[in-house]
Chain A
């Protein structure tokens, strides 16, 4: 059932400038202040490696507006080892955490050995100490690993600096591009360019493939593209329209929508034996499936009550439960990584905004304040939502941290960007 397609249109382009760049719109007044002290270097090592690494870490940590930094020229001292570290130098500047480090040795193969320590100034203790060996060609990668570790230590949440984002760019009326980039906008790759619309990207759990919908043959079809080889396979799930593919947490199947003669229902498609299993069977519209983190349930949108509302269905018992009742438009639901809450698009008084709801409560909380918000995607640590919205005739991406500390936007230089999909973590 899977048809192999030739790769005429596949190209990978690494843009020099990031297409997406995060702009912080609103930071909170009481963010934790972190001092990223330029790392020391052992003699014989390229001089700027030390400051390059600490600058990269600083940039990562500030990316989503979750922290405040101390400017390097305001620092009273520049320690690179614990012996030279004095808490009072940081306490007096209102610093909450200080990161110091040293690039220790480089061997003939160009390997660097970087040691680092993180101090909690208020508690006057060292809270993290680490060492990492990596190639000097991969200073960005090394910096991301250290950033993840200190983010985890400070917040208690998984670091997300080595995650990626997929999105669709509509640069003019007849050009659609399926793109991925690092979460900071760097290393953009164009996976596929088409003259017909592209929709609904979703990452495989191993981050090796993207499923999406393309109209290249005149109607909605689901494709799976391998990111390494660029190979594209179409899923011939039949019916009139195939849409809204989402990978199961184990990567072995897709939940998707097949419409037979205009009756879209949710199906499960096994990647192994290519078999299609029906999950819903209703004359209304059933679409926008998404898996619960434990794989046991699927949330979906249905208009069976007369307006789009969210439901969940147990994939084994097929028992269904209505999840939303307030408002006449609640659609495209997704579970939080802990499975206890959902986020979705909530229509209210003609505005369409991103909202959340605990499964255990009826109360819907609206997160965004623009009026055409859609396609929300959550960071794998459950703390940040990025969504698509529109300003004038151009679509851009907006973001918000769920602790309310920061709002940011990811504009594109030209055209419209839409349908963000946050990658899973690399495990």
Chain B
């Protein structure tokens, strides 16, 4: 994944519980700027399970197959200290919209994990939109592989 050794996830914050009333003043929004949390790429936990779930074009809904895959993964997810969810899109459509869509996909996975009893506090969500495709070809097969959420455990 990223070649940079250290992720500074300064603003990946646990505001899902308190995001409903966002004020219009930046000063009053400082609660969202939780202290940065750093962890090393080298600390990633090995797992034998598939670490990706896939989505339909312009969709962020998990189907039954995705859900059962995530359920198989649950015991390991619950053991991990940090669960990183990275949302991605295929190249079709616009880049900024896809950035938002990738975030939607990662959050869909996060919400499912929380419902299944994983602590939201250890989940980190990031979207790369269409910026980091797995496959660079422009065909249905490549697009299907690129519309994904990657799950990594630390």
Binding site for B on A (CB under 8 A): 1, 174, 195-197, 199-200, 215-221, 236-241, 243-244, 257, 259-264, 274-278, 285, 287-288, 301, 303, 307-308, 329, 331-332, 345, 347, 350, 352, 372, 374-375, 390, 392-393, 419
Q: How far is the CA of A333 from the CA of B101 in the complex (A)?
A: 17
B2, A218: Cβ atoms closer than 8 Å: yes
A285, B95: Cβ atoms closer than 8 Å: no
A261, B16: Cβ atoms closer than 8 Å: yes
B3, A244: Cβ atoms closer than 8 Å: no
Q: Answer whether residue B136 sits at the interface, using C-beta atoms and an 8 A cutoff.
A: yes
Count of residues in B whose CB is under 8 Å from the partner chain: 46
A287, B97: Cβ atoms closer than 8 Å: yes
Give 27 A-B contacts (CB < 8 Å), ordered by A residue: A196-B4, A215-B128, A218-B7, A218-B8, A218-B126, A219-B126, A236-B11, A237-B26, A239-B15, A240-B125, A243-B99, A244-B99, A259-B103, A261-B19, A261-B107, A262-B106, A264-B100, A275-B25, A275-B26, A277-B24, A278-B22, A278-B24, A285-B104, A288-B97, A307-B58, A331-B93, A331-B94
User: What is the chain A residue whose CB lies nearest that of B126?
Assistant: A219
CB-CB under 8 A for A199 and B3, given A260-B32, A301-B94, A393-B138:
no
Q: How far is the CA of A301 from the CA of B29 in the complex (A)?
A: 25
**Nearest Cβ distance between residue B93 and chain A, in whole angstroms?**
6
Pick from A218, A236, A259, A374: contact of B9, CB below 8 A. Answer: A218
User: What is the chain B residue whose CB lies nearest that of A289?
Assistant: B96
B103, A288: Cβ atoms closer than 8 Å: no
Question: In the assembled complex, which residues on chain A have CB atoms less than 8 Å from the CB atom of B72?
Answer: none
CB-CB under 8 A for A274 and B4, given A219-B126, A220-B99:
no
CB-CB under 8 A for A262 and B97, given A197-B131, A236-B33, A352-B92:
no
Pick from A260, A287, A372: contact of B100, CB below 8 A. Answer: A287
**Nearest Cβ distance between residue A367 and chain B, in whole angstroms?**
16
Q: Answer whether residue B48 sits at the interface, using C-beta atoms and an 8 A cutoff.
A: no
B58, A375: Cβ atoms closer than 8 Å: no
Interface residues of B in 117-154 (CB under 8 A from A): 125-129, 131-132, 136-138
Question: In the assembled complex, which residues on chain A have CB atoms less than 8 Å from the CB atom of B10?
Answer: 217
**Nearest Cβ distance between residue B62 and chain A, in whole angstroms?**
14
B96, A332: Cβ atoms closer than 8 Å: yes
**Nearest Cβ distance between residue B34 and chain A, in whole angstroms?**
10
A262, B11: Cβ atoms closer than 8 Å: no
* Known A218-B126, A241-B99; further 7 A-B contacts with Cβ < 8 A: A219-B126, A260-B32, A263-B19, A275-B25, A276-B24, A372-B92, A374-B94
Pick from A1, A262, A372: contact of B104, CB below 8 A. Answer: A262
A287, B96: Cβ atoms closer than 8 Å: yes
Interface residues of B in 68-117 (CB under 8 A from A): 91-97, 99-101, 103-104, 106-107
Pick from B15, B26, B29, B138: contact of A240, CB below 8 A. Answer: B15
Question: In the assembled complex, which residues on chain A have CB atoms less than 8 Å from the CB atom of B92?
Answer: 347, 350, 352, 372
Q: How far is the CA of A61 from the CA of B94 in the complex (A)?
A: 32
CB-CB under 8 A for A264 and B131, given A276-B29, A374-B94:
no
Q: How far is the CA of A1 from the CA of B100 in the complex (A)?
A: 24
